[in-house]
Chains A and B, each alone.
Chain A
Amino acid sequence: MNLLEWLPFIVLIPLISSGIVACLPGRFWPWAFTLLAALASAVIAALVLPEAMGSELSYPFGNWQPPIGIEYRVDAANAFVALLVAGMAALALPWAKASVDQEIPERQGAFYALFLMALAGLLGITLSGDAFNIFVFLEISSLATYAIIAHGRDRRALLAAFRYLIMGTVGATFLLIGIAFLYMMTGTLNLADMAERLPEVSDTRAVRAGLAFIIVGLGLKLALLPLHLWLPNAYTYAPHFVTVFLAGTATKVALYVMLRFIFTVFSPDYSFVVLPLSSVLMVLAVAGMFAGSWVAMFQDNIKRMLAYSSVAQVGYMVLGVSLVSAIGLTAAFLHLFNHALMKTALFMAVGCLAYRAGSLKIQSLQGCGREMPWTMTAFALAGLSIIGVPTTAGFISKWYLILAAVEAQSWWLVGLIVITSMMAVYYIWRVIEAAWMTERPEGATRLKEAPLSLLIPTWVLVALNFYFGIDTRLTVGASSAAAEALLGVPTGGLP
């Protein structure tokens, strides 16, 4: 059995396991089985990545050859994203045990089953080479995500989930409208086939409208600035484990699909020349960077602050795309990966804090740095990464983003990237200051350090932030291969 035949199991393992996990009783077995399934998927994804570098793998389902049948088509770009999603799930699950036991004491089987379904959906979106299949997987992952967000203990989690459901469904339906237009014009749903047939009909209003619908629909899922309204509440009130997982994966997958449509299905010559997509994305990205960072500076709740920071980080990724160059796209993929690392580490540290302290308001955390030193040190180190201090992963992606801006001769963008990084310094510093520089108020309950089962995974993520800040062979290599795969031209080995 060669590797290609294992390819669909990246999606099938979590999907099938979710049915099994739903039936498992107690608190241990659902979690253990979920961890196994996520690990298995991550291992296969890790094996597929080197194979997919430079060549395209195609797995036709039921041996129906594309374009008639549905295929999974994997190149460097989606193998990289699939490894990120499956890997983040496998890294987050060891952390999940203690946190989920506290937050969702009952019916954990159902919770983990939904989690696996969300994971399977995200992986399916990433690997599929069929437009309608992407829509169905998008809805599978979204439905499961709405349900797990609603598991949050605060009753506002229900409202957040409901509003996300409304906005997410509108976004997915926009994607469906876009796919309908493309199907009408080309008569195919296979992405590669569509790319071949589109040039003949590209100068029609239906195709232009189709692209616009797809971009707006995915922009909603991606939380690009004016469409980000669902994100802060969903991240804030979801169970901590769900926030940890979503922050690293959900928006990244939406960005990948958007890139797939912009670059592979439509050629960049079309999407960036016929439509003013480059300037639209650049304006929205810069606005997102500023508005997200600005609002984050004034949030009381740490989780909400980090959620707004995510809106800003999505801005950085889209900014890399809007520069339409190999190096810009590499920067976007790098930031996609590195942001997953740093936000997961930060949300894990916040989850450790929430495990002991009831409130996540910054005022109520005064002096907790002395009582929970390991947690707060992890937070501070991951914070360095999001600021972009050298030797952290965050520095690498910002460095490439600045290189891309310099290459495009947009010096003002370099200035904007530096300014928004300064804003990140401010919002991370507010937490550090409250935790370390102020005394614990009189009469406040003493906090214990978080248990090791939470701390060890958190520190693993923090260590990864530094590892990928120093050894960039894997990330930069995979990112430039991904950019190459999307642009269809060799980037000639980036520095």
Chain B
Amino acid sequence: MMTFLSFFNYWVVIALMMIGFYCVIARGNMVKKIMGLNLFQTSVFILFISAGKVVGGSTPILRDGVEVYSNPLPHVLILTAIVVGVAITALGLALAVRIQEAYGSIEDDHLGDEDDDAELARMNREGR
């Protein structure tokens, strides 16, 4: 029981990772896919940050009387990774909006099958 609790963070990571990954694979709706992707990424952030925790350590700020402090590097790295994650979410949502405009739907299952190259040819002519 104790070992289970002491690895609590990691159990959460695994649970979140699987939920997120399942959403990405199983959901047809693009916004849900992006939400799944976010969960998946967040789980990795927690994994990274958990690695920086030092038992009994305080915040890594230089001051008197503090000898043990947590490793600040994972936090800094994850700050960057969060920015990357936000950028991906923004781009994914922007693409979803464009797909909604172009197809009138963001359900991934049937989109794209009905197009053929005749349409490409038509668009090429219009563009010229």
Contact = CB atoms under 8 A, between A and B. Distances in A.
Q: Do A and B come from one complex?
A: yes
Interface of A: 102-103, 105, 132, 135-136, 139, 143, 146-147, 150, 153-156, 158-159, 161-163, 165-166, 169-170, 173, 176-177, 180, 183-184, 189, 300-301, 354, 358-361, 364
Interface in B85-118: 87-88, 91-92, 95-96, 98-99, 102-103, 108, 111-112, 115, 117-118
A183 B123 CA distance: 50
A156 B117 CA distance: 11
Given A153-B123, A173-B44, A146 B91 contact: yes
Given A143-B91, A165-B92, A169-B41, A154 B123 contact: yes
Which size bracket describes the interface of B in this complex? 35 or more
Contacts of B127: 102-103, 105, 153
Contacts of B122: 358
B95 A359 contact: no
A243 to B, nearest CB: 14
B87 A143 contact: yes
A169 B37 CA distance: 8
A153 B40 CA distance: 32
B117 A150 contact: no
24 contacts: A103-B127, A105-B127, A143-B87, A146-B95, A153-B123, A158-B102, A159-B112, A161-B95, A162-B30, A166-B33, A169-B37, A170-B24, A176-B81, A177-B47, A180-B44, A180-B47, A180-B48, A180-B51, A183-B48, A189-B77, A301-B117, A358-B124, A358-B125, A359-B120
B15 interface: no
Contact of A155 (B80, B115, B125): B115
B90 to A, nearest CB: 9
A173 B123 CA distance: 36
Nearest to A167: B24
A136 B77 CA distance: 10
A153 B124 contact: yes
B84 interface: yes
* 6 nearest CB pairs, A to B: A358-B121, A155-B102, A358-B124, A139-B84, A359-B121, A184-B51
B37 A170 contact: yes
A177 B44 contact: yes
Nearest to B87: A143
A146 B21 CA distance: 20
Given A154-B115, A173-B40, A180-B47, A162 B96 contact: yes
A162 B92 contact: yes
B63 interface: no
Contacts of A136: 80, 84
Nearest to A363: B117
B40 A170 contact: yes
Contact of B99 (A103, A154, A159, A301): A159
Nearest to A187: B71
A161 B120 CA distance: 17
A139 B115 CA distance: 31
A361 B115 CA distance: 14
B40 A183 contact: no
B57 to A, nearest CB: 15
Contacts of A147: 91
A189 B78 CA distance: 14
Given A155-B103, A159-B111, A359-B117, A139 B47 contact: no
Given A105-B127, A139-B88, A165 B120 contact: no
B55 to A, nearest CB: 15
Given A147-B91, A155-B115, A180-B47, A166 B98 contact: no
Identify which of A143, A300, A354, A358 gathers the most chain B CB atoms within 10 Å of its CB.
A358
A444 to B, nearest CB: 12
B119 interface: yes
Given A155-B102, A166-B33, A359-B124, 20 more contacts: A103-B127, A135-B81, A139-B88, A146-B91, A150-B98, A153-B124, A154-B115, A156-B112, A159-B112, A162-B30, A162-B96, A165-B88, A166-B37, A173-B41, A176-B81, A177-B47, A183-B74, A184-B51, A358-B121, A359-B117
A165 B91 contact: yes
Contacts of B120: 153-154, 358-360
A162 B47 contact: no
A169 B20 CA distance: 12
A354 B48 CA distance: 47
Contacts of A103: 127
A165 B95 contact: yes
Contacts of B103: 155
Contacts of B74: 183
A183 B51 contact: yes
